DNA sequence: CAGAGGCTATCGATCGATCGATCGAACGTC
DNA sequence: GACGTTCGATCGATCGATCGATAGCCTCTG
């Protein structure tokens, strides 16, 4: 189905902000990509910065909702952490442009616009922190610096958006499972190789991102 | 000692490109930071893009030289990989601005200017690839997808530049050693916990980067 | 049903500001 | 007086954003 003008503006912004950066993307670039005049653009957005902030909000809310749904009910920290890793990797592989905007352009927002975005990211990272901390407390994770390790794993998983190509040798399932395994190992997981509920992750990603995975 | 004008221009560019991005940094921003007029700037550089390319060349050459020196003579793949990780982490913790420019702004270069930069990065990554591949071949690393794992570990280590602060709880030595341990574990290292030659890494970083580590 | 009025969507033209870059001229030092 | 440095002034181009106007469509009214 053809996209509405509003959707085309959004898609154009995600694509161009991801590839050329916020400051590298001009209003006229956006207009051309969205097949609109630069004046018409402003019928669908506030300022260019508003557009960026809105993209970040929806992207982060989507990731946060997905992560909460996937880990609802608590349970085994190992399983939860592997689920978070798989979900994060799938999201970054399925929507690399969107996630690259979120990961790389936060600093261009004014402090007032940045604050709620950072709050969303912090809420998301707390899900990781609690899974890791509970795993360490339970003795199933053995790692020296849990907070630093969390940051290391997050960066590792976010990096997927920088290089993954669906035309590569790895299918999404293998990719997600492999990263879950890398994370488990890095955390010194002592339990038997945990099984990741990939089917559930795929369903959530398919629902939230509107793609077939 | 006071810096020369030439050095001030370079330092200003590294700082501003890292924090505000290439397109987000104006010639006048550069001039103000370097305490020069915008016209005087051009006495020390070509175009703005030339300045960016030159920063990337020197930064990548420095990292490549350091990595080659640190792993010269080959030897145990586990030790080599741990050395590469420690060196990479130290470099990113000591010079986060420089490395952020290299990691984030490659795409803004024109194809002609980007090509030699990518070649340098590829040469650097081959050092990682050979250490990992040899370790897998020797059976000391047990990992399913070595190439993907290399990318994952590189992203993990580069991420240090995004968050590390010298005022944090971790000293540089602990940080580098911790990352070496994370990488070893992720690679399914079967040998006894390898000892990283941190002293050697510190010496190389101190020499190449001109800082006391 | 005719048409007046309002609402949504779109555009060409253009605003003042800023962009990267260049010019010619003035310093100081040897 | 030649050379390495520095600058104020300024160039044409492009920036983000706004203007008034137009065309289509839906609703209300008489």
Residue-level pLDDT at A208:
94
Residue-level pLDDT at A195:
74
Minimum Cα–Cα distance from B152: chain A residue: A156
Mean pLDDT over residues B11-40, rounded?
A: 97
Residue-level pLDDT at A196:
81
CA of A2 to C1' of C12 (A): 26
Give the DSSP per-residue string, A156-192. HHHTHHHH--TTSS--HHHHHHHHHHHHHHHTT--SS
The token duo for A198 is 């990939």
In this structure, are residues A206 and A213 in contact, taking their beta carbons and an 8 Å threshold? yes
Mean pLDDT over residues A152-156, rounded?
A: 98
In this structure, are residues B52 and B22 in contact, taking their beta carbons and an 8 Å threshold? yes
Instruction: Tell me whether residue B169 is exposed, middle or buried, using C-beta atoms within 10 angstroms of its C-beta: 0 to 12, 13 to 18, 19 or more.
Output: exposed
Average pLDDT, chain B: 95
**The pLDDT of residue B164 is above 90:** yes
- Report CA-CA distances (Å) from B76 to A138, B3, B191: 35, 42, 11
Residue-level pLDDT at A73:
82
The token duo for B33 is 């930071």
Mean pLDDT over residues A16-25, rounded?
A: 98
The token duo for B46 is 């070509």
For strand D, give the nucleotides within 7 A of a protein CB: 5-10, 14-20
Share of chain B above pLDDT 70, in %: 98
- Report CA-CA distances (Å) from A109 to A26, B30, B54: 16, 20, 28
Which residues surround strand C, with CB < 7 Å? Answer: A 5, 36-40, 43; B 23, 25-29, 38-39, 42, 47-49
Instruction: Identify all chain B residues contacting A181, using CB atoms and an 8 Å cutoff.
Output: 144
Cα(A86)–Cα(A179) distance, integer angstroms = 7
In this structure, are residues A180 and A200 in contact, taking their beta carbons and an 8 Å threshold? no
Mean pLDDT over residues A19-32, rounded?
A: 97
In this structure, are residues B34 and B9 in contact, taking their beta carbons and an 8 Å threshold? yes
pLDDT digit string (tens) for A161-207?
999 999 999 999 999 999 999 999 999 987 766 678 899 999 999 99
* Shortest distance, CA B137 to any CA of chain A (angstroms): 19
A19 touches chain B (CB under 8 A): yes
Cα(B117)–Cα(A161) distance, integer angstroms = 21
In this structure, are residues A14 and A98 in contact, taking their beta carbons and an 8 Å threshold? yes
For chain A, the C-alpha Rg in angstroms (whole number) is: 18
A185 Cβ neighbours under 8 A, 6+ residues apart? B185, B186, B188
For strand C, give the nucleotides within 7 A of a protein CB: 9-14, 18-24
pLDDT digit string (tens) for A27-80?
999 999 999 999 999 999 999 999 999 999 999 999 999 999 999 987 899 999
Which pLDDT band holds residue B190 (cuts at 50, 70, 90)? confident
Q: What torsion do the CA atoms of A106, A107, A112, A114 make, to the nearest 10 degrees?
A: 20
Average pLDDT, chain A: 95
Nearest residue (CA) to C1' of C8: A43
B33 touches chain A (CB under 8 A): no
Work out the end-to-end distance of chain A between its first and last CA atoms, rounded to an integer number of angstroms.
Answer: 19
């Amino acid at each position: 189905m053809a996209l509405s003008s509003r959707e085309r503006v959004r898609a154009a912004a995600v694509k161009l902000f991801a590839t050329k950066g916020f400051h590298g993307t001009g209003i006229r670039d956006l207009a051309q990509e969205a097949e609109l005049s630069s004046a018409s653009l402003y019928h669908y957005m506030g300022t260019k910065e508003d557009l960026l902030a809105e993209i970040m909000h929806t992207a982060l809310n989507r990731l946060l909702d997905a992560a909460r749904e996937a880990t609802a009910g608590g349970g085994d920290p190992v399983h939860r952490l592997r689920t978070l890793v798989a979900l994060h990797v799938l999201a970054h592989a399925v929507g690399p442009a969107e996630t690259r905007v979120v990961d790389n352009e936060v600093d261009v927002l004014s402090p007032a616009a940045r604050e709620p975005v950072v709050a969303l990211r912090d809420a998301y990272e707390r899900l990781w922190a609690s899974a890791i901390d509970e795993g360490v407390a339970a003795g199933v994770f053995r790692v020296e610096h849990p907070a630093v390790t969390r940051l290391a794993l997050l960066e590792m998983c976010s990096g997927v958006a920088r290089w993954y190509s669906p035309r590569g040798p790895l299918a999404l399932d293998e990719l997600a499972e492999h990263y879950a395994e890398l994370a488990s190992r890095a955390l010194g997981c002592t339990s038997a190789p945990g099984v990741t509920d990939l089917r559930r992750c795929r369903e959530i990603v398919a629902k939230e991102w509107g793609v077939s995975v």
